[in-house]
């Protein structure tokens, strides 16, 4: 398949433009060299890139080619022809300039300036345009306000959700602290009960002695009872003697 036609216009992409310049410059210099060799012609090519870099090719010496070009009478005719074509007014450019001037005049009239040359109908038409423009601006302003309100509502909902999440985290942290404090309280109560029992056991000397002697409490009571009986008998004998 053949290559498609490329539209000849300025390439907007800088990278693509640089690649195309490098390829076409190499091709141009190659064609100039081939033309000089095949046709025994004196060829000189000067190329400046968009960055101002110079590229040149000369079949002999560039100074010699330029001197021959400057002394040639046909080159001066070519320069004058190019200047004439540049200075000639172009109808398309004139049409564009007149259109720009009209638009600038309309813009000034829309701001209330240069209204002296307008008749009643033109002024009424201008007023109608301004009224429609004001309505369009108001509609756009209301739309912008509604969009801002929607954004603020969404932000408010987001903040509310974040607050709820923070509250849940705080409640979980409080429950965790409460549970940890409850466990510590139980441990402390167990330690206190054990110390109270130890104190009671220290105060109760009989139980300690009985435990140390390996005797039960009942045996101790049995041993103590005869002492009470003897004391009672002694008291009875004393009363009889009296």
Q: What is the pLDDT of residues 67-118, one digit of tens each?
A: 888 887 776 666 555 555 555 556 777 788 888 888 888 888 888 887 877 7
Query: Can you give the residue range of the structural domain that contains 38?
Result: 14-81
Q: Does 47 map to a domain? A: yes
Q: Does 180 map to a domain? A: no
Single out the residue of 89, 92, 133 nearest to residue 111, CA to CA: 133
d(CA 64, CA 19): 32
Q: Does 26 map to a domain? A: yes
Q: Does 36 map to a domain? A: yes
* DSSP E strand boundaries for the chain: 44-48, 54-58
Give me the number of domains the chain comprises.
1
Q: Does 119 map to a domain? A: no
Q: Does 224 map to a domain? A: no
Q: Does 97 map to a domain? A: no
CA distances from 176 to 96, 144, 164, 166 (A): 79, 48, 18, 15
Q: Does 161 map to a domain? A: no
pTM to 2 decimals? 0.33
The 10s digit of each residue's pLDDT in 175-206 is: 888 888 877 766 666 655 555 445 454 445 44
- 58 beta partners: 44
Q: Can you say how many angstroms the Cα of residue 24 is from the centroid of all Cα atoms in its chain?
A: 43
Q: State the CATH number of the domain containing residue 42.
A: 3.40.1810.10
d(CA 95, CA 97): 5
What average pLDDT score do residues 123-136 get? 86
């Amino acid at each position: 398949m053949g290559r498609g036609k490329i539209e000849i216009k300025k390439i907007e992409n800088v990278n693509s433009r640089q690649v195309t310049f490098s390829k076409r410059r190499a091709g141009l210099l190659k064609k100039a060299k081939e033309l000089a060799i095949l046709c025994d012609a004196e060829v000189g090519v000067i190329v400046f890139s968009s960055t101002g870099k110079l590229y040149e090719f000369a079949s002999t010496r560039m100074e010699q080619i330029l001197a021959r070009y400057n002394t040639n009478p046909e080159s001066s005719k070519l320069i004058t022809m190019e200047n004439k074509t540049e200075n000639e007014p172009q109808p398309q450019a004139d049409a564009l300039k007149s259109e720009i001037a009209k638009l600038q005049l309309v813009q000034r009239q829309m701001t209330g300036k240069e209204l002296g040359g307008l008749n009643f109908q033109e002024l009424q038409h201008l007023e109608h345009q301004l009224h429609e423009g004001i309505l369009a601006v108001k509609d756009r302003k209301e739309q912008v306000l509604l969009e801002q309100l929607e954004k603020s509502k969404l932000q408010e909902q987001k903040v509310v959700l974040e607050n709820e999440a923070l509250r849940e985290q705080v409640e979980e942290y409080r429950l965790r602290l409460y549970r940890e404090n409850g466990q510590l309280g139980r441990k402390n109560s167990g330690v206190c009960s054990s110390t109270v029992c130890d104190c009671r056991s220290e105060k109760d000397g009989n139980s300690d002695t009985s435990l140390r002697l390996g005797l039960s409490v009942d045996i101790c009571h049995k041993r103590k009872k005869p002492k009470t009986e003897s004391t009672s008998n002694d008291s009875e004998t004393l009363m009889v003697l009296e």
